[in-house]
Amino acid sequence: MTQHWSAPGAAGPVHSTVPVPGSKSITNRVLVLAALADEPSTVHAPLRSRDTVLMASALSSLGVLFADREDGGWDVTPGLLRGPADVDCGLAGTVMRFLPPAAALAEGEIRFDGDPQARTRPMGAVLDALRGLGAEVDGDALPFTMRGTGSVPGGEVTIDASGSSQFVSGLLLSGARYDKGVTVRHAGKPVPSLPHIDMTVQTLRAAGVRVDTGTADVWHVEPGVIGARTWHVEPDLSNATVFLAAAAVTGGEVTVPGWPAVTTQPGDAVRGILERMGCEVALSDAGLTVRGPEKLAGLDVDLRDESELTPTVAALAALAEGRTVIRGVAHIRGHETDRIAALVNEINALGGNATETEDGLVIDPAPLRGGLWKAYADHRMATAGAIIGLVVPGVEVDDIGSTTKTIPDFPGMWDAMLTGAR
């Protein structure tokens, strides 16, 4: 159900400390590994949002046990994976691409479906690869059905992962449980969002899985045990960028506590991006602090590896002086919506000057006015509208409820930030 929202304006420079929930990307990787581990695992500080709850529910339907902890985490006990089961992927790329390789290890029939928009998202690379590794799959996109025998032969497979790094990550996460492990070779244009594959490899190695990444565009996971462990999930840095953007556009100061000094999360790249746009950025024991300038500067930036930041950067660019060129993000046309077309449409609907390119968009300065900002059921489109609404009166986001995909209560967090709650 959509939720119309009047984006609140900032009365002045925003000054706040904003703790953010755990990383969706890390949480859903950890949940898959915990479900396939040899013993029970504990997950501390996971994100509990629509995408991660969908993952937990899907794994539960296959026989994995989840017990809530008082600290908000989960105790995860692996079970004998089996169907029949119906998996709701919602609009979560991590569920629709990470779970089928794990479900291929189950016995019985597993049916996958999701939101109407999810049925248009690319899935062929993963499903064709699973067939090549010995799994039985009917269909090439949502909805599709898997019929498992309790094991997967595994082996080597070549895919085109230029549409999403999730195609590679999904296969790697379950590969250790395949009889021969898995070797994934990429053939095609460069893989986008490579830091997300690095995140997958790091998470696998933390669970004791042996992964060889010595050859470019080839990843090999040896067969073996996935070890149980206690996981601690980092704050979601991509979600955090939205709150840091509030400091950038209002000339204020926002601190996000717990920002890791070393991370594989692509959202960490926002530090350099904001500095190039004129912000002061400081990382300390207190967290990451951003101080906004009197006026933001435009920039030319390649976001191939950090494409999830595109809506936030585009919102900043629409309020900046000078041209901004965003490159390397052609693949985001296949995300929750065609994000390039959506950003251009919505910026221009508010009086802006944005144009599409083959692999991104160009944004030139133009005075913005209030009006309806469409989210397209896309959480990052919705938060981009919220950023613009801080300094442009009368912005209305048509579906702020879409933010529950990765932030359980975005409107509440936004209001708390604007009141300076610390």
Co-location of 205 and 263 in the same domain: no
Q: Residue 162 annotated as binding?
A: no
Cα 233 from Cα 26, distance rounded (Å):
6
Q: Do residues 256 and 213 share a domain?
A: no
pTM for this predicted structure: 0.89
**In this structure, are 280 and 207 located in the same domain?**
no
Concerning whether 356 is annotated as a catalytic residue, the answer is no
In angstroms, the CA 208 to CA 230 distance is: 13
What is residue 1's predicted lDDT score, i.e. its pLDDT? Answer: 54
Question: How large is the average pLDDT for residues 35-48?
Answer: 97
The reported pLDDT for the residue numbered 422 is: 44
Instruction: Return mean pLDDT, the chain.
Output: 96
| 346 marked as binding residue | no
Sign of CA pseudo-dihedral 263, 269, 271, 272: positive
Same domain, 15 and 32: no
Task: Count the neighbouring beta carbons within 10 Å of the beta carbon of residue 155.
Answer: 15
Same domain assignment for residues 200 and 322: no
Same domain? For 244 and 133 the reply is: no
6 is in an annotated binding site: no
The stretch 267-285 carries a mean pLDDT of 97
Is the same domain home to 297 and 368?
yes
pLDDT of residue 420: 75
131 is in an annotated binding site: no
| Mean pLDDT score, 117-123 | 92
Give the model confidence (pLDDT) of 279-298 as tens digits. Answer: 999 999 999 999 999 999 99
As for how many domains the chain has, the answer is: 2
Ligand-binding annotation for 69, yes or no, is no
Q: Does any domain span residue 228? A: no
Residue 273 domain-assigned (yes or no): yes
CATH for 379: 3.65.10.10
Is residue 333 marked as binding? Answer: no
Pairing state between β 5-6 and 395-397: antiparallel
Pairing between β-strand 395-397 and β-strand 371-373 as defined by DSSP bridges: parallel
C-alpha to C-alpha distances, 204 to 72, 187, 340, nearest whole angstrom: 23, 23, 32
In a domain, 33, yes or no: yes
* Domain final position from 192, 221, 250: 221
Asked if residue 80 and residue 159 are part of one domain, the reply reads yes
| Mean pLDDT confidence for 232-244 | 97
Is 248 in the same domain as 377? yes
Contact status, residue 185 vs residue 159, Cβ threshold 8 Å: yes
Model pLDDT, residue 105: 97
**Which of 195, 221, 247 is where one domain is finished?**
221
Q: pLDDT confidence of 3, banded at 50, 70, 90?
A: confident
- Of 308, 321, 336, 346, the catalytic one is 308
Domain final residue, candidates 169, 198, 221: 221
Range of the domain at 342: 5-21+234-418
Q: What is the pLDDT of residues 295-335, one digit of tens each?
A: 999 999 999 999 999 999 999 999 999 999 999 999 999 88
Alpha helices in 270-372 (DSSP H): 270-276, 310-318, 339-349
Q: Is residue 229 part of a domain?
A: no
Residue 150 has pLDDT above 80, yes or no: yes
What pLDDT, on a 0 to 100 scale, did the predictor assign at position 334?
83
Residue 312's pLDDT is 98
What pLDDT, on the 0 to 100 scale, is given for residue 153? 98
